[in-house]
A and B are shown apart, each in its own frame.
Chain A
Amino acid sequence: MKDPGKSSGMHFHRRAFLQGSGAVAAATAISGGAAEAASRASRLVRSKTQITLHVNGSDHQVAVEPRDTLLDVLRYQLDLTAAKPVSSDGSSGASTVLVDGKPMTASTLLAIACRGKKIETCESVSSHHPDRICRTFVKHDSLQCGFCTPGFVVAVRAFLKRHPDATREQIRQGLNGNLCRCGTYADMIEAVVDLVKGGGNG
């Protein structure tokens, strides 16, 4: 057995880590004092508490237990039901929302951990004021039963932000975090190809 740490080019020291590190200051900082203790207490939540969630551009006051998921709070307290409960571990992508612009599954986020973050659900647009993604999904019939569709719509928003010029191959590669049972994938690919070409505008 070889020790990789002793292989040439694979050796280093923790000293290097500490050089110029923010962690140096942090590691040597002396904690204490009443203010410190109070702020620490505020960062420990033992039971149901009032928090503010910033969803689709406005603030919402909600009372949550530490264990409440963002998905449950959206669905049961804010009646925002576009994000769906399909899998407990997020593997279906049906509860996809944007958190500070990034696609995440609301079913695997604690609501309390979302304080101070910008949450955007599929409902940030409406059927009266749809965005081009929704319009293009309809144009290509990229939906059937529709239960997974809002999760896909939000995922496509995130995908196009990162890959505005995505190729067909990138589309097939990039949207595998969401699951559809009706089999809308073929029409979904066409919709995203169309969106890349500027479809859905006007």
Chain B
Amino acid sequence: MKSFEYAEPRTEEEAVEFLQDAGTTAVVLAGGTDLMGLLKKMVVTPDRVVNIMEVDSLKEIRLLPDGSLAIGSAVTLDELLADPHLADYGGILDAVHGINSMQLQSQGTLGGEVLRRPQCWYFRRDGELLDGRRVIEGDNRYHAILGNQGPAKFVSASRIAPCLIALGAQARLRCAEGERWCDVADLFQIPRRADQQENTLAPGELVTHFVLPPAGALQSATYEVRHGAGPDMPLAAAAAVLEFSGQRVKEAQVVMGQVAPIPWRADAAAEVLVGHRVDERLAAEAGRVAVAQATPLSHNEYKVQLAQTAVRRAVLRAAGLETGGF
């Protein structure tokens, strides 16, 4: 690790001040389960590390008067599992359970997980995010099958973001100038130039909270295809959020994970579901539609089927049906 300064703010204001001091590059440290490895590899070399784990307001889970649920970005994953408010957000819990390590769950935070840096072994080796040619000519078995036409070929690493996006969750951000709100979906972008990265945060900006809409009648699920039982990254994943009117789907959202440089909305797949009863055939059709535009690389065609299967099973699970498989 390169030497750095360490800041331990107690309030959000202090945090953004520490993050925005003139002349320093600063990074946010939450659970450290992603950042620490990158610091050691000197993929990330900040002047200052700002630890937000002592900021009380970032550690709250709070039901808002309108029934939506605010979750601080420093809330740990095991706290999500334990909190009764989360019980109705099955898709979030599915994703957290998938990170199958007590250590990662008790150390990792919601904010850190959502903003986890990209999954790409080239990036994690030397920090180069947009060397698309290297990925095309190299071993791209775990890389993107969608949204991969530009230089970014990595996959978005978050396992919770697809469900947050499918739920229509919003993020609250702070900077020295004040706060702003955006859809969680808008936290992500496919970078095309060296001055861009995979998220849309301005330098020094801090995500303080995620706000989930009232669970109400929403039924959500995440399905991850995982190679083994460990906490390793899934090979493909999908989140589905369904709202029913009687037996039929009234509203649907489907978002895939680990398939593109951003959590990948599969709106066409969601359209397939609306107005119908969910059954195996309909879910399979949603899966097919979800990957219809896939552009696999030389070594990852198998991921098309995995993504398709993930969508199918996420939809079935969200509808309360058997997913099949193990």
CB within 8 Å of B: which residues of A? 1-2, 4-5, 7-14, 16-17, 19-23, 26-27, 29, 31, 40, 43-46, 65-67, 69, 88-91, 93, 96, 102-105, 107-110, 112-113, 155, 158-159, 162, 172-179
The answer to whether B64 touches A16 (Cβ under 8 A) is yes
Q: In the complex, which residue of chain A has the Cβ closest to the Cβ of B48?
A: A44
The answer to whether A14 touches B181 (Cβ under 8 A) is yes
The answer to whether A7 touches B29 (Cβ under 8 A) is no
With both chains docked as a complex, state the minimum distance between the C-beta of B244 and any C-beta of chain A, in angstroms: 11
Which of B12-20, B84-92, B152-160, B196-204 is the contact stretch?
B12-20
Q: A44-B5, A107-B36 are in contact. Are A93 and B103 (CB under 8 A)?
A: yes
The 0/1 profile, CB within 8 Å of A marked 1, for residues 1-18 of chain B is 111111111111110011
Q: A90-B33, A103-B102, A113-B51 are in contact. Are A67 and B65 (CB under 8 A)?
A: no
The answer to whether A177 touches B101 (Cβ under 8 A) is yes
The answer to whether A22 touches B60 (Cβ under 8 A) is yes
With both chains docked as a complex, state the minimum distance between the C-beta of A179 and any C-beta of chain B, in angstroms: 8
Q: Which B residues are in CB contact (< 8 Å) with A173?
A: 100, 229
Q: A67-B4, A173-B100 are in contact. Are A10 and B168 (CB under 8 A)?
A: yes
The answer to whether A103 touches B36 (Cβ under 8 A) is no
Q: How many residues of B contact A (CB 8 A)?
A: 75
Q: A26-B12, A177-B104 are in contact. Are A112 and B6 (CB under 8 A)?
A: yes
Q: Which B residues are in CB contact (< 8 Å) with A31?
A: 11, 13-14
The 0/1 profile, CB within 8 Å of A marked 1, for residues 38-75 of chain B is 01110000000101010011001010111010100000
Q: In the complex, which residue of chain A has the Cβ closest to the Cβ of B178?
A: A27
In the docked arrangement, what's the CA distance between A159 and B78, Å? 12
The answer to whether B14 touches A43 (Cβ under 8 A) is yes
Report which of B49, B68, B103 forms a contact with A66, defined as CB distance below 8 A. Answer: B49
Report which of A9, A22, A27 forms a contact with B56, defined as CB distance below 8 A. Answer: A22
Q: A10-B213, A113-B29 are in contact. Are A4 and B2 (CB under 8 A)?
A: no
Given A8-B251, A17-B209, 8 further pairs, Cβ under 8 A: A1-B267, A7-B168, A19-B65, A90-B36, A107-B36, A110-B6, A176-B231, A177-B100
With both chains docked as a complex, state the minimum distance between the C-beta of A84 and any C-beta of chain B, in angstroms: 14
With both chains docked as a complex, state the minimum distance between the C-beta of B290 and any C-beta of chain A, in angstroms: 14
The answer to whether A5 touches B33 (Cβ under 8 A) is no
The answer to whether B101 touches A67 (Cβ under 8 A) is no
With both chains docked as a complex, state the minimum distance between the C-beta of A7 and any C-beta of chain B, in angstroms: 5
Q: Which B residues are in CB contact (< 8 Å) with A93?
A: 101, 103
The answer to whether A17 touches B100 (Cβ under 8 A) is no
Q: Which A residues are in CB contact (< 8 Å) with B316?
A: none
Q: A26-B11, A45-B5, A105-B107 are in contact. Are A110 and B168 (CB under 8 A)?
A: no
Among A5, A40, A173, the one with the most B-chain Cβ atoms within 10 Å of its Cβ is A5
What would 8 A/B residue contacts be, using CB atoms closer than 8 Å? A5-B170, A10-B213, A10-B218, A89-B36, A96-B103, A103-B106, A158-B102, A172-B229
Q: In the complex, which residue of chain B has the Cβ closest to the Cβ of A25?
A: B57
Q: In the complex, which residue of chain B has the Cβ closest to the Cβ of A12?
A: B68
Leading 10 A-B pairs by shortest Cβ distance: A177-B101, A89-B37, A66-B6, A4-B168, A10-B168, A108-B36, A102-B106, A16-B64, A67-B1, A16-B66
Report which of B4, B14, B270 forms a contact with A40, defined as CB distance below 8 A. Answer: B14
B265 near A: Cβ within 8 Å?
yes
Q: Which B residues are in CB contact (< 8 Å) with A16?
A: 64-66, 68
Among A8, A17, A109, A179, the one with the most B-chain Cβ atoms within 10 Å of its Cβ is A17
Q: In the complex, which residue of chain B has the Cβ closest to the Cβ of A104?
A: B107
B230 near A: Cβ within 8 Å?
yes
In the docked arrangement, what's the CA distance between A67 and B47, Å? 11
In the docked arrangement, what's the CA distance between A4 and B16, Å? 29
In the docked arrangement, what's the CA distance between A65 and B60, Å? 30
B253 near A: Cβ within 8 Å?
yes
With both chains docked as a complex, state the minimum distance between the C-beta of A8 and any C-beta of chain B, in angstroms: 6
B211 near A: Cβ within 8 Å?
yes
The answer to whether A88 touches B41 (Cβ under 8 A) is yes
Q: Which A residues are in CB contact (< 8 Å) with B273?
A: none
In the docked arrangement, what's the CA distance between A192 and B46, Å? 43
B185 near A: Cβ within 8 Å?
yes
The answer to whether B243 touches A155 (Cβ under 8 A) is no
